[in-house]
């Protein structure tokens, strides 16, 4: 017997023996369990042993029948622990969804863990058709997804250290960032390790500097001699010993950390290449113009292998945050940037569209046409990404690689010149900080 307001099973769902919701915390979780009109509550320690015992009790109580479980978490320790139990069907709930639902029934904003567990269970019972059930991809694909995100984290850390290094160099050694914009390169880090001050660099013999540059794959003789001349003419920014001697140790620490990150990034990129090439769908993503060794695995990780994950290209565009949001009320309508989305996924499609412009004639024409209409660079790139995602979705759905001649033939058949396939979608303004 179902609760009067309780939603029955959606198409494709099993008949759940019970509904469970967990309000997770760092040390202790609070859970609410509903079977028909009967509601029970309890606590659960945040340890693998406690979760194992609790899951075993549920298995025994309901004879291994399926149980729907809502949790305010999509990734994390609890989701990882619960994911190994086949009888538990996980429904992640976005924190803002729970917060709005709580405010609906408790305008005073009163909050406690038991109440949140009850609200999560209520959401699961009455609005399960609006929740996206967690459907884990294959183990290899999940590993690829985690590795491409790990790579991005390491790259971001390297960028942050590079900014710290550059800010310090501008104070006592400004010639380095002027000569080389990217101070995280192996050349710059090795130069700073060998000559941490301009005074030390100016003492180096020309032959030593020539050998150093050649060792770091600088083969342009004119460039080498010009750089040596600039070193000879360079003037120290400061003679303040306190500034210089306090900066040098920090620079040495940062270039050491950047070196470790550089090696870690190379190693993880090798793992990513091997994982991606072993996937059945690699031919699809390898065929995309502008994807390359870095973006092709990221695009593959974004799409995954589960074809039922996205019912249409429009669903993919909205989920990834490329499609804008339209708000209308009466005679007024506003189109704005989509904020709630996986930021890394949106960045992946945006970067791919940008990289495709110099390598794909029709993509460049779309971009140029939008720029001619007064759109900003990022607005034009996002509009191009919107179009690319429709193409990629079709290739991914049909498991075929991208072939430009087929796409151009399709445009010609629809009497849509390659220079005018501009998406009929309003693209709101966005700042670079949002990417």
- The predicted-structure confidence for 76-110, as pLDDT tens digits, reads as follows 788 888 888 989 999 999 888 899 999 988 888 78
Q: What pLDDT sits at residue 415?
A: 63
Instruction: Examine residue 240 and state whether it is found in any structural domain, yes or no.
Output: yes
Regarding whether 395 and 322 lie in a shared domain, the answer is yes
Regarding whether 159 and 232 lie in a shared domain, the answer is yes
Residue 341's φ and ψ, nearest 5 degrees, are: -165, 165
- How would residue 18 be classed by pLDDT, with cut points 50, 70 and 90? very high
**CATH number of the domain encompassing residue 214:** 1.10.287.4070
- How would residue 425 be classed by pLDDT, with cut points 50, 70 and 90? very low
- How would residue 426 be classed by pLDDT, with cut points 50, 70 and 90? very low
Q: What pLDDT sits at residue 195?
A: 97
Please report where in the chains the tokens 């001649």 appear, as a residue: 405
- 332: Cβ contacts below 8 Å, ≥ 6 apart: none
Instruction: Examine residue 11 and state whether it is found in any structural domain, yes or no.
Output: no
Q: Mean pLDDT highest for which of 42-46, 110-114, 257-261?
A: 257-261
Q: Could you tell me which of 290, 300, 294, 351 has the C-alpha nearest to residue 322? A: 351
Regarding whether 155 and 130 lie in a shared domain, the answer is no
> Does the structure show a pLDDT above 80 at 338?
no
For residue range 366-411, list pLDDT tens digits in order: 999 999 999 999 999 999 999 999 999 999 999 999 998 888 887 7
Average pLDDT over residues 105-127: 89
Regarding whether 377 and 353 lie in a shared domain, the answer is yes
Instruction: Examine residue 6 and state whether it is found in any structural domain, yes or no.
Output: no
Regarding whether 95 and 78 lie in a shared domain, the answer is yes
d(CA 175, CA 169): 8
- How would residue 185 be classed by pLDDT, with cut points 50, 70 and 90? very high
Instruction: Give Rg (Cα) of the chain.
Output: 28
Average pLDDT over residues 213-232: 94
Average pLDDT over residues 232-245: 95
Regarding whether 429 and 308 lie in a shared domain, the answer is yes
End position of a domain, from candidates 86, 107, 134: 134
Regarding whether 382 and 250 lie in a shared domain, the answer is no
d(CA 314, CA 371): 24
- How would residue 422 be classed by pLDDT, with cut points 50, 70 and 90? very low
What residues make up the domain containing 235? 142-275
Regarding whether 54 and 177 lie in a shared domain, the answer is no
Regarding whether 195 and 122 lie in a shared domain, the answer is no
Instruction: Examine residue 8 and state whether it is found in any structural domain, yes or no.
Output: no
Q: What pLDDT sits at residue 79?
A: 86
Q: How many domains does the chain have?
A: 3
End position of a domain, from candidates 117, 134, 151: 134
Regarding whether 256 and 154 lie in a shared domain, the answer is yes
Q: Which is it for strands 67-71 and 38-45: parallel, antiparallel or unpaired?
A: unpaired
Instruction: Examine residue 12 and state whether it is found in any structural domain, yes or no.
Output: no
End position of a domain, from candidates 220, 240, 275: 275
Percent of the chain surpassing pLDDT 90: 71
Please report where in the chains the tokens 């966005």 appear, as a residue: 430
- 411: Cβ contacts below 8 Å, ≥ 6 apart: 362, 417, 418, 421
d(CA 182, CA 188): 8
d(CA 196, CA 308): 56
124-133, 154-163, 241-250: least confidently modelled range: 124-133
Token pair belonging to 346: 């949106």
Q: What pLDDT sits at residue 431?
A: 34
Average pLDDT, the chain: 88
Q: Phi/psi class of residue 23: alpha, beta or left (left: φ > 0; alpha: ψ in -120 to 50)?
A: beta
d(CA 396, CA 277): 16
Q: What pLDDT sits at residue 329?
A: 75
Token pair belonging to 311: 């019912």
Instruction: Examine residue 419 and state whether it is found in any structural domain, yes or no.
Output: yes
> Does the structure show a pLDDT above 90 at 173?
yes
Regarding whether 152 and 113 lie in a shared domain, the answer is no
> Does the structure show a pLDDT above 80 at 320?
yes
Regarding whether 319 and 186 lie in a shared domain, the answer is no
Percent of the chain surpassing pLDDT 70: 92
Q: What pLDDT sits at residue 75?
A: 75
Average pLDDT over residues 39-59: 92
**CATH number of the domain encompassing residue 45:** 3.30.420.40
Instruction: Examine residue 401 and state whether it is found in any structural domain, yes or no.
Output: yes
- Residue 205 in contact with residue 195, Cβ under 8 Å? no
- Residue 357 in contact with residue 366, Cβ under 8 Å? no
């Amino acid at each position: 017997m179902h609760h009067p307001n309780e939603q029955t099973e959606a198409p494709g769902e099993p008949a759940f023996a019970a509904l469970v919701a967990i309000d997770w915390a760092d040390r202790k979780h609070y859970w609410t369990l509903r079977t028909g009109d009967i509601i029970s509550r309890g606590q659960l320690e945040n340890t693998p042993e406690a979760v194992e015992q609790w899951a075993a009790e549920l298995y025994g109580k309901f004879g291994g029948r399926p149980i729907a479980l809502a949790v305010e978490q999509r990734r994390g320790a609890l989701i990882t622990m619960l994911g190994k139990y086949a009888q538990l069907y996980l429904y992640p709930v976005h924190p803002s969804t729970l917060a709005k639902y709580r405010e609906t029934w408790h305008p005073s904003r009163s909050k406690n863990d038991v109440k949140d567990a009850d609200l999560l269970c209520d959401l699961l019972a009455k609005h399960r058709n609006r929740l996206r059930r967690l459907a884990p991809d294959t183990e290899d694909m999940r590993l690829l997804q985690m590795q491409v995100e790990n790579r991005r984290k390491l790259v971001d850390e390297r960028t942050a250290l590079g900014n710290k290094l550059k800010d310090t160099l501008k104070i006592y050694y400004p010639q380095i960032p002027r000569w080389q914009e990217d101070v995280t390169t192996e050349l710059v880090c090795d130069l700073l390790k060998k000559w941490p001050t301009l005074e030390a660099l100016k003492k180096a013999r020309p032959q030593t500097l020539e050998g150093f540059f050649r060792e770091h794959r600088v083969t342009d003789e004119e460039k080498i001699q010009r750089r040596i001349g600039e070193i000879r003419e360079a003037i120290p920014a400061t003679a303040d010993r306190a500034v210089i001697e306090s900066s040098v140790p920090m620079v040495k620490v940062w270039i050491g950390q950047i070196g470790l990150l550089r090696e870690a990034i190379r190693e993880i990129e090798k793992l990513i290449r091997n994982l991606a090439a072993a996937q059945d769908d690699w031919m699809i993503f390898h065929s995309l113009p502008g994807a390359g060794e870095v973006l092709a695995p990221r695009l593959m990780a974004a799409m995954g292998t589960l074809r039922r994950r996205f019912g249409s290209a429009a669903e993919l565009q909205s989920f990834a945050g490329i499609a804008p949001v339209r708000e209308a009320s009466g005679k007024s309508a506003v189109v704005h940037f989509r904020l709630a989305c996986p930021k890394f996924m949106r960045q992946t499609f945006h970067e791919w569209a940008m990289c495709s412009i110099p390598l794909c004639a029709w993509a460049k024409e779309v971009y140029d046409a939008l720029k001619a209409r007064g759109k900003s660079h990022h607005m034009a790139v996002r509009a191009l990404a919107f179009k690319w995602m429709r193409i990629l979705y079709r290739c991914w759905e049909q498991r075929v690689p991208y072939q430009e001649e087929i796409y151009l033939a399709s445009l010609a058949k629809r009497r849509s010149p390659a220079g005018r396939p501009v998406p009929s979608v309003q693209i709101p303004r966005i700042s670079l900080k949002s990417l």
